[in-house]
Amino acid sequence: MVIEHWVEYFIPGSLFSESDYVKLQTRNVAAAVAKMPKNAFAFQLYDVCVREGVLEDGKKITDRKEENRSGRYYPDGKLYSLQEAIADHGEKSILVSNMRCNKWDPLVKTRLGNHQPFEKDDMIISTHRAEAFLNS
C-alpha cells in the first residue's frame, strides 16, 4: 500500500467552483501554497491510499481511495460577518439574504474577492507566513 498526498485547488467558475489537482511530495500547507495557481481562492489537502494487486488471470488492478480530507484553507482570506455584509451591500442584497437563509455567519471573503461559506474545519492562513516557513 502506498499513500499519496494531494491538494485540490478551488478556482471561481461561472456557477460553481472549478478544481485543479496537484500531487505533493508531503502533506504540507506551505508546499500547497507554493504550488497554488494565482486564480485559486482556496485549497484542501487529502491523501490517496493506493493498493495494487494481481488477479488470478494475471491482470493487474489498482484501487485508489481518498482519505483524510482537510477543511478548506483560505490563503489571505478574511472573515466577513453578516453585519459587515449589510453595511457593504445593504439589507436587501442577495448576499445578505443567502447568509441569513443558510445561516452563513461568518463567510470568508477570499483573496480574489468572492465569498464562501466558512465551515467548521476551515482555516484562514497567511501566504506570507507559509512562504517564510517553506524558505526556512
Identify the domain containing residue 94 by its residue range.
2-135
What total number of domains does the chain contain?
1
pLDDT at 119: 93
Q: Tell me, what DSSP letter sits at residue 16? A: S
- Residue 136 binned pLDDT confidence (cut-offs 50, 70, 90): very low
The answer to whether 69 and 42 are in contact (CB under 8 A) is no
- Between β-strands 42-54 and 60-67, what pairing exists: parallel, antiparallel or unpaired? antiparallel
pLDDT at 124: 95
52-109 tens-digit pLDDT: 888 889 888 888 999 999 999 999 999 999 999 999 999 999 999 999 999 999 999 9
